[in-house]
C-alpha cells in the first residue's frame, strides 16, 4: 500500500481518491503565468473507496502521547471542515480497542500520512499518523503547532474520505509537478489550485480551510447535512415569533417540517433524503395575522384520527383547527370557544396541551386553568364544551409554571393519558377514567420543588424507558439522569440510571443544552438525547439503566454556535425507518443527522 503524506510546504487544490497509502511533503510554488481555473467543483475519486454510511468512527491508538487539548484541535478542525459540510459524521474519538473499526490514529513524530484512502483505513491499525511535536519532521511547525496540527488534520481526513492529491489528476498544469500517491478512478469537473488536497496550493495545507470547490466536490460524493435552505435564522425565522416543529402531515411515515411563519403556515415534506420546497398550506396562525408566541400556543395533533396531524391553535377567541388533507390544511374552524386569550388563559400561567384522555384515538384539549384541569373531548369535527375533570393543579391551587411541571402521560398502559404533576413534595398522578380524572395520588415522594428540583436547572419528563407501554419518570438532576419506572399504580424509588447529563456534570444547563427522550434505535425503549457543548450525546436504554453516553453526532452544540433562543433542535423520524433522527433549525436552514 502506498502512503499519502502531509505536505510541509503547500497543499494543492483538488480532491482525489486512490487505492493506496498517502503521505504529504512539500510542493513547489506555482508559476504566476499558469492560467488555473478554480470556479467549479473538482474531484479525483476512487469511487469504490467511499464510505457507504453517514457515521465514521475515529479512535486514538495512543492518546496518552498528547494532551486532550491537542487531540481536540484535530477533532474540532475536522468537524469544522469535512464534517460540517457533508453528511459524513466523524464520531467516537476515544481510545482504540483491538476491534475498533473506522479511522485509527497514531500520534508519532514523523511525516503525517494515511495508509490508503477512504475505506482502506477501516479498522486498519495505525491507518492514520499525525504529528503533534514536530521535533524531527517539519520543525518550523514548533512555532505554530496548533495551526500545523489543524491544517494537517484537515488534509489527512480528506484522504480518509477517499480524496487523493489534486496534483495527481491528468489535467494538472505542467508547472505543478508534485505528484504523490495513487490516482483515482473518477474525475469530476476542473482542477482546483485552492484545494486543501493540492500540493501546489500557495497556502500551506490550504491553511486548513476547504476551498469552495472542496466543499462542492465533497457534497457531490457524500451529500449535505442541510436538507433545506429555509426556516433558519438568516432567513428571518425567530424562536420568539415563529414556532417550528415536525409532524407527518401526509401520512407517509416520514415527519415533515411545519413552520408558523410571518405569512402563514408553511410545510416542507420529507422525501427521506431532503425536504421539499416550502408550501403555504394555510394562510393563518402566523405573525402577520396577529398570532404571538407569548399569547397563542400552536401545536400539531391528529384530532380526527385519520393518521395525519392537524393544526391546533389556541387563539384569542378559542381553539381553532385546520385539518390536514395530506396536501394542505383546511381553512381555520373554531372548534370550541374557550381556552383562548379572551377567556383569560395565559401562556405563563395555564399549560394547554393535546392528549387522548378517552382512548378513542383522537387527542383532546387538556388545560390547567385557574380552578383545575379542564377537558374538551374531540368529536372529530369539534371539541365538546369545557368540563372540569379535576378540581386541582390549577393556578388558584398554587401551581406555577416556573415551579411545577405538569404534563399528560399514559402511566398505566390503558390507552388513556393521565395527569402527571411535579408538585412541591413529589409526583402526583390522576388517572383518566375516560370521563374524568381520579383523585390525585402521590406516586413517588421525590422530584419536587422541596427536593431541590428546579425548572431552570432540572428538566423532568415522562418516557417509556423499559418498553412496557407505561410512561416512566425521567429527571435530569444534579448528578445525572434519575428514573422511577411505573408499576401502573405508582412510581418506583428513584434510581440513578447514568451519572451524566446532570447540572454538576460538565455544566449541563437548561439555557444551553437541550435534553430529551427519543427511541433512537427502534427497540421500543426511549433513550437519552443530550445536545452538549460539542455535539449530540446518546445514552441508550437497556431497560434497567442507560448506557454510558456515546458521542453520536458532532455539531448541533453550543460550542458550534447553536443557541436555545435561536436554533430549535428536536428528534424526528425523517425517513420512516422507525428511528428518531436529529433535526436542527440552524442559521442557514434545517440540518439533519440520522442516528441508527
Q: What is the mean pLDDT of residues 115-144?
A: 96
- Using CA atoms, how far apart are residues 258 and 268, in angstroms rounded to an integer? 7
pLDDT score for 46: 63
Interval 144-152 mean pLDDT: 97
Residue-wise pLDDT for 7-20, tens only, equals 433 322 333 333 34
Q: What is the pLDDT of residue 392?
A: 99
Instruction: Please tell me the least confidently modeled range out of 320-324, 558-562, 592-596.
Output: 592-596
Predicted local confidence at residue 188, as pLDDT: 56
User: pLDDT averaged over the chain?
Assistant: 90
Bridge-based pairing of strands 535-539 and 527-532 is: antiparallel
CA distances from 161 to 79, 99, 143, 270 (A): 13, 21, 29, 27
Cell of 463: 418516557
Q: What is the pLDDT of residues 201-234, one digit of tens each?
A: 889 888 999 988 888 889 889 988 899 999 999 9
Structure confidence at residue 101 (pLDDT): 97
Residue 39 pLDDT > 90 = no
Q: What is the mean pLDDT of residues 349-372?
A: 99
Comparing 337 with 32, the larger pLDDT belongs to 337
Is 245:300 a contact under the CB 8 Å cutoff? yes
Residue 257 pLDDT more than 80?
Answer: yes
Model confidence at 38, in pLDDT bands (50, 70, 90)? very low
| Runs of H (alpha helix) within 346-444 | none
137 by Cβ neighbours in 10 Å (0-12 / 13-18 / 19+) ranks as middle
Residue 340 reports pLDDT greater than 60? yes
pLDDT, tens digit, for every residue of 412-448? Answer: 999 999 999 999 999 999 999 999 999 999 999 999 9
Percent of the chain with pLDDT over 90: 77
| Mean pLDDT computed over 376-399 | 99
**DSSP H or E stretch at residue 419:** strand 418-422
Rounded average pLDDT over 483-488 = 99
Residue 181 has what pLDDT? 54
Residue 498 has pLDDT above 60, yes or no: yes
Rounded distance between C-alpha atoms, residue 183 and residue 199, angstroms = 14
Position with higher pLDDT, 560 vs 435: 435
Band (29; pLDDT cuts 50, 70, 90): very low
Give the Cα separation of 380 and 323 in Å (integer).
10
The rounded Cα 164 to chain-centroid distance in angstroms is: 31
Q: The C-alpha cell of 426 is what?
A: 413529589
Helix (H, G, I), strand (E, B) or coil at 73: helix
- The bridge status of strand 226-228 relative to strand 55-60 is unpaired
Residue 165 · residue 181 · CB < 8 Å: yes
The confidence band for 175, taking pLDDT boundaries of 50, 70 and 90, is: confident
Question: Is the model's pLDDT at 73 over the cut of 70?
Answer: yes
Q: Check whether 280 has a pLDDT greater than 90.
A: yes
Q: 40 falls in which pLDDT band (50, 70, 90)?
A: very low
Q: Which three cell numbers stand for residue 159?
A: 484522504
User: Residue 67 in contact with residue 108, Cβ under 8 Å?
Assistant: no
What would the DSSP string read from start to end of 486-501? B-SSSBPPPEEEES-S
What's the residue count for the chain?
596
**d(Cα 58, Cα 74) in Å, to the nearest integer?**
11
Question: Among 22-36, 300-314, 327-341, which is the least confidently predicted range?
Answer: 22-36
List pLDDT tens digits, range 314-328: 999 999 999 999 999
Q: Which of 69-78, 157-166, 168-177, 508-517 has the highest mean pLDDT?
A: 508-517
- Please indicate whether residue 11 or residue 367 has the higher confidence score (pLDDT): 367
Mean pLDDT, residues 516-532: 98
- Give me the mean pLDDT over the 114-124 stretch: 95
Amino acid at each position: 500500500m502506498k502512503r499519502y503524506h502531509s505536505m510541509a510546504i503547500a497543499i494543492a487544490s483538488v480532491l482525489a481518491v486512490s487505492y493506496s497509502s498517502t503521505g504529504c511533503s512539500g510542493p513547489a510554488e506555482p508559476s504566476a503565468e499558469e492560467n488555473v481555473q478554480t470556479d467549479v467543483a473538482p474531484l479525483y475519486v476512487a469511487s469504490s473507496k467511499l464510505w457507504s454510511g453517514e457515521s465514521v468512527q475515529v479512535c486514538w491508538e495512543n492518546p496518552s502521547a498528547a494532551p486532550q487539548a491537542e487531540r481536540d484541535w484535530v477533532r474540532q478542525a475536522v468537524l469544522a471542515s469535512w464534517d460540517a459540510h457533508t453528511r459524513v459524521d466523524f464520531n467516537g474519538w476515544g481510545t482504540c480497542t483491538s476491534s475498533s473499526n473506522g479511522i485509527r490514529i497514531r500520534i508519532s513524530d514523523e511525516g503525517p500520512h494515511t495508509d490508503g484512502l477512504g475505506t482502506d483505513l477501516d479498522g486498519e491499525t495505525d491507518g492514520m499518523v499525525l504529528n503533534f511535536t514536530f521535533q524531527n519532521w517539519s520543525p518550523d511547525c514548533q512555532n505554530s503547532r496548533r495551526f500545523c496540527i489543524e491544517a494537517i488534520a484537515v488534509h489527512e481526513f480528506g484522504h480518509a474520505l477517499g480524496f487523493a492529491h489534486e496534483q495527481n489528476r491528468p489535467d494538472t498544469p505542467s508547472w505543478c509537478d508534485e505528484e504523490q500517491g495513487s490516482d483515482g478512478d473518477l474525475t469530476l469537473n476542473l482542477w482546483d489550485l485552492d484545494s486543501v488536497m493540492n500540493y501546489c496550493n500557495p497556502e500551506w495545507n490550504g491553511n486548513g480551510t476547504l476551498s469552495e470547490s472542496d466543499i462542492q466536490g465533497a457534497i457531490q460524493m457524500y451529500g449535505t447535512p442541510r436538507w433545506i435552505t429555509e426556516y433558519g435564522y438568516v432567513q428571518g425565522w425567530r424562536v420568539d415569533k415563529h414556532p417550528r416543529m415536525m409532524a407527518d402531515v401526509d401520512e407517509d411515515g416520514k415527519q415533515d417540517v411545519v413552520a408558523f411563519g410571518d405569512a402563514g403556515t408553511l410545510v416542507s415534506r420529507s422525501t427521506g433524503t431532503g425536504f421539499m420546497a416550502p408550501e403555504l398550506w394555510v394562510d393563518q396562525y402566523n405573525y402577520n395575522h396577529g398570532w404571538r408566541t407569548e399569547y397563542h400556543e400552536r401545536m400539531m395533533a391528529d384530532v380526527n384520527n385519520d393518521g395525519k396531524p392537524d393544526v391546533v391553535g389556541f387563539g384569542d377567541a378559542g381553539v381553532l383547527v385546520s385539518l390536514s388533507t395530506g396536501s394542505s390544511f383546511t381553512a381555520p374552524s373554531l372548534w370550541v370557544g374557550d381556552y383562548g386569550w379572551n377567556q383569560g388563559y395565559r401562556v405563563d400561567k395555564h399549560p394547554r396541551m393535546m392528549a387522548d384522555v378517552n382512548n378513542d384515538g383522537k387527542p383532546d384539549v387538556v388545560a390547567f386553568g385557574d380552578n383545575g384541569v379542564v377537558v374538551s373531548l374531540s368529536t372529530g369535527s369539534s371539541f365538546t364544551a369545557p368540563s372540569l375533570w379535576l378540581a386541582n393543579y390549577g393556578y388558584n391551587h398554587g401551581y406555577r409554571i416556573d415551579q411545577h411541571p405538569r404534563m399528560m402521560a399514559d402511566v398505566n398502559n390503558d390507552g388513556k393519558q393521565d395527569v402527571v404533576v411535579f408538585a412541591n413534595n413529589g409526583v402526583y398522578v390522576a388517572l383518566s377514567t375516560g370521563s374524568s380524572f381520579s383523585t390525585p395520588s402521590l406516586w413517588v415522594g421525590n422530584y419536587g420543588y422541596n427536593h431541590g428540583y428546579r425548572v431552570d436547572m432540572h428538566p423532568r419528563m415522562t418516557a417509556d424507558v423499559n418498553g412496557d407501554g407505561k410512561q416512566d419518570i425521567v429527571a435530569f438532576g444534579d448528578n445525572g439522569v434519575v428514573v422511577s419506572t411505573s408499576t401502573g399504580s405508582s412510581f418506583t424509588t428513584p434510581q440513578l440510571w447514568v451519572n451524566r447529563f446532570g447540572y454538576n456534570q460538565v455544566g449541563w444547563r437548561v439555557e444551553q443544552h437541550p435534553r430529551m427522550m427519543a427511541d433512537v434505535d427502534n427497540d421500543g425503549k426511549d433513550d437519552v438525547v443530550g445536545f452538549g457543548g460539542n455535539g449530540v450525546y446518546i445514552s441508550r436504554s437497556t431497560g434497567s439503566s442507560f448506557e454510558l453516553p456515546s458521542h453520536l453526532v458532532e455539531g448541533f452544540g453550543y460550542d458550534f454556535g447553536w443557541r436555545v433562543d435561536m436554533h430549535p433542535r428536536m428528534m424526528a423520524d425523517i425517513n420512516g425507518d422507525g428511528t428518531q433522527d436529529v433535526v436542527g433549525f440552524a442559521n442557514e436552514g434545517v440540518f439533519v443527522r440520522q442516528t441508527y
